[in-house]
């Protein structure tokens, strides 16, 4: 009947200090600095470790799961193993019906907030594009350099040499060469 804590922050620049302070009463503690969207080996190890009668303790629901679906999957795994979940900041404990109801309601609200945030972000991106903001990495070579690269390749210069001379990757060399092939095909068919 151990208390097993799990703490997570999204990036290396963030601190686990506040969570660790709140979880210091736990018998065992798992922590990681990873985004919720990627693989989280410490969470997997934590879920593997917990046994029947244990309680998994987190500070907030969003530290545990990336979506309502993921939260429900974790909750089901914990239920199947006979492990309770305690969320300190929201004062949830799944050892009774009220705690389980509150847990699922807060999970749904958290998912709703995540989706609203994503919609606002997409609206902002669309507005920026309408104003002419260009997203993505800027081109590495000028149009003159691209033409030169294409000409040198037609003369038989090796891809490896082009990579070295222009300080670009193999994929970028081929992308510039493919763009030339596409534009000449378009000119021929017109």
- Whether 27 is in a domain gets the answer yes
Same domain, 159 and 98: no
Q: Domain boundary residue among 95, 113, 131?
A: 113
Give 12-22 pLDDT, tens digit per residue. Answer: 678 889 999 99
Same domain, 50 and 92: yes
Q: Which of the 8 DSSP states describes residue 45?
A: H
Distance separating alpha carbons of residues 41 and 118, to the nearest angstrom? 26
- Whether 41 is in a domain gets the answer yes
Same domain, 152 and 85: no
Element (H, E) at 46: helix 41-49
Summary mean pLDDT of the chain: 87
pLDDT at 185: 55
- Could you give the angle at which helices 159-166 and 170-189 cross, rounded to 10 degrees? 110
- Whether 65 is in a domain gets the answer yes
Distance separating alpha carbons of residues 81 and 53, to the nearest angstrom? 9
What does residue 135 show for φ and ψ, rounded to 5 degrees?
-95, 160
The band of 65, judged by pLDDT with boundaries at 50, 70 and 90, is confident
Is pLDDT of 144 > 60? Answer: yes
Token readout for 11 is 């990036």
Give 79-119 pLDDT, tens digit per residue. Answer: 899 999 999 998 888 888 888 788 778 777 877 887 888 89
- Whether 128 is in a domain gets the answer no
pLDDT at 183: 59
Same domain, 104 and 155: no
- Whether 76 is in a domain gets the answer yes
Residues 6+ apart with CB under 8 A from 157: none
User: Rounded to an integer, what is the distance from CA 40 to the centroid of its chain?
Assistant: 10
Average pLDDT of the segment spanning 163-173: 92
Its domain, for residue 108, covers 3-113
Predicted structure pTM score: 0.57
> Is 189 tagged catalytic?
no
- Whether 170 is in a domain gets the answer yes
Same domain, 93 and 151: no
Q: Give the residue carrying structure tokens 């151990």.
A: 2
- Whether 38 is in a domain gets the answer yes
Distance separating alpha carbons of residues 94 and 92, to the nearest angstrom? 7
Q: Domain boundary residue among 113, 129, 163?
A: 113
Identify the CA nearest to 29 among candidates 48, 10, 3: 3
Same domain, 94 and 29: yes
Same domain, 108 and 150: no
- Whether 119 is in a domain gets the answer no
Same domain, 11 and 96: yes
Distance separating alpha carbons of residues 50 and 78, to the nearest angstrom? 8
CATH of the domain at 67: 3.40.50.1390
pLDDT at 153: 94
Q: What domain count does the chain have?
A: 2
10, 67, 183, 189: the catalytic one is 10
Q: How many other CB atoms are there within 10 angstroms of residue 155's CB atom?
A: 7
Is pLDDT of 123 > 80? Answer: yes
């Amino acid at each position: 009947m151990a208390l097993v804590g799990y703490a997570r922050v999204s990036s290396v620049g963030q601190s686990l200090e506040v969570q660790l302070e709140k979880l210091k009463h736990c018998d065992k503690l798992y922590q990681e600095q990873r985004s919720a969207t990627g693989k989280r080996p410490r969470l997997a190890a934590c879920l593997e470790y917990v046994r029947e009668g244990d309680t998994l303790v987190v500070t907030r629901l969003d530290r545990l799961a990336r979506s309502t679906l993921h939260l429900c999957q974790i909750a089901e795994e914990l239920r199947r193993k006979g492990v309770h979940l305690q969320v300190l900041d929201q004062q949830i404990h799944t050892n009774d019906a009220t705690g389980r109801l509150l847990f699922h309601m807060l999970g749904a609200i958290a998912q709703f907030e995540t989706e609203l945030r994503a919609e606002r972000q997409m609206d902002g991106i669309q507005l920026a594009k309408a104003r002419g903001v260009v997203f993505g990495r800027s081109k590495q070579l000028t149009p003159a350099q691209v033409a030169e690269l294409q000409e040198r390749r037609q003369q038989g210069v090796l891809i490896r040499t082009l990579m070295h001379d222009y300080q670009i990757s193999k994929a970028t060399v081929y992308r510039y060469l493919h763009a030339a092939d596409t534009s000449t095909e378009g000119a021929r068919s017109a």
